[in-house]
Chains A and B, each alone.
Chain A
Amino acid sequence: MPIKRSAGKVTFDYLNMTILLAVSLLCLFPYIHILAVSLSSSAAVAEGKVSFWPADFTINSYSFVVSGSQFMKAFGISVQRVLLGVVIYMAVTAFTAYPLSKEDRRFRSRTVYVWFFVVTMFVSGGLIPTFLVVRSTGLINSMWALILPGAVQIFNIVILLNFFRNLPKELEECAFLDGGGHLTYFLRIALPLSVPSLMTLTLFTIVYHWNAWFDGLIYINRPDHYPLQTYIQMNVIEPGRRVRDITDLDVLKTVSQSTLRAAEVLVTSIPVLLAYPFIQKYFIAGITLGSVKE
């Protein structure tokens, strides 16, 4: 149905589009730079010749990254971690968020539970005690050390409980009148109606697992079992540090391997970039509630 747009609306639309495109360009800019660096020779980069267009074009960096057995192995471990992590985290998040979305008067312990969880968002025991607990629970060197300690993502839970809470109350009443219990309502109605928010939180979880590196370093002992970001992080050396140990010159000189790092960064961000459009499919306004209304 064609709607006639007012002059004001037309101006707004153009203005809006200009703003959005400008912002997009700004955000694209570092990637173009990194792409250009990754496709240049390291000598050209060292001389500062590369900004947005490769100099001395070469794909050596990429063939090096992809041929490295450690890189590909770490990549595989990260993929495993993300898959396992998403399944477990989303299950824990949904199961925890649902009861907490009930009103106080229906579920009187909820406020106690909520604060029990929320406190841990702000208070942490610190590195050593957390490590000791992970060790006592026997997770060192296991993929579970990267999964279990952070499995209760309070932030995600709190968001999801807000979405659950804002579902129309009538739906819940209907479900219960039909003789269903909490589980029926949760599985049959609450979850399907929250697909966009669930997908958003899934994206957050993917990103969390993909980007985490420090836990891999401290909980995993074998470098060939490191997840990708741990592996990458170990290769990033801060420039300009003084090398006191002359035998570590080789470490210092990896600073100049910026082309290699650029290629690694780009290859590493591919999976999270692919994840987003997949999630976007679910961002069509009103898709869920509209269908329920009938």
Chain B
Amino acid sequence: MTTGTSRRERFLFTAYALVVLGILFLPLVTVTLASFSRKRYFSFPIRRYTLDWYDKAFQSLTIAELVRTSLTIAAIVTLICVVVGFFGALAYARYPWRRRKLYQKFILLPIFFPQSVLGLSLLLWFNFLGIIPTWKTAIVAHLVWVAPVATLIMAIQAYGFDRSLEEAARDMGANGWQVLREVTLPLIMPGVISAGLFSFLLSWGNFPLSLFTTGADLTLPEWLYAKMVSGYSPLVPAVGTLTVLGVAVLVAVGVSFVWLIRRRGWKG
């Protein structure tokens, strides 16, 4: 740590961090609170509490359908992004080729674009190609934003390891495929898992891209938004809270997994 950080300074920094974190999570806490309200509309403080809305959430067929749609999209997006991004990350960080620097910057471009504009442009593009938007086209839309992120995460991991490891494996007789499987992949594995986690969650929670490209189908975030604007009931925060919980569990599992791999290595 740096010099000159007195205990008082540490205390101030920690206090600041806690305040910021508190503000960061305040809306989520409020949403959870709102899900317990018996009344249809939210007013604070809540006079009467109930868990009925959670009941409704679990029993609703609409919601089950929405979850299924969102999950399917997220799963496929994750699969594609991790595979494509893995090779993209290798190209990003490990191989010396001519246009690499340009490639690095180009890959990042989609992240900077407003998602609504991206979604709309994809809508026009589908229309141009004569494709009708369904949940399948939403997959394509998510790829635009998620693939660069996944690539970036794996690239960061790929920067880390010793080039001579691959060379040594080659020298000892391994062919290209064996090097990839026995050396490269195990070393990038923490990045691969993080990228998978990110891809899944970013796709699962995405709204702007889905809004314009799912057509008649709906994802969970789309439904939530529609209900927020008109037709609000505490079902919305209930579902929202469940979403947050699901995300938290997934992140916890993912992070522990990555931590474990970093310490013990990936045995393949």
Bind each other? no
Residues of A within 8 A of B (CB): none
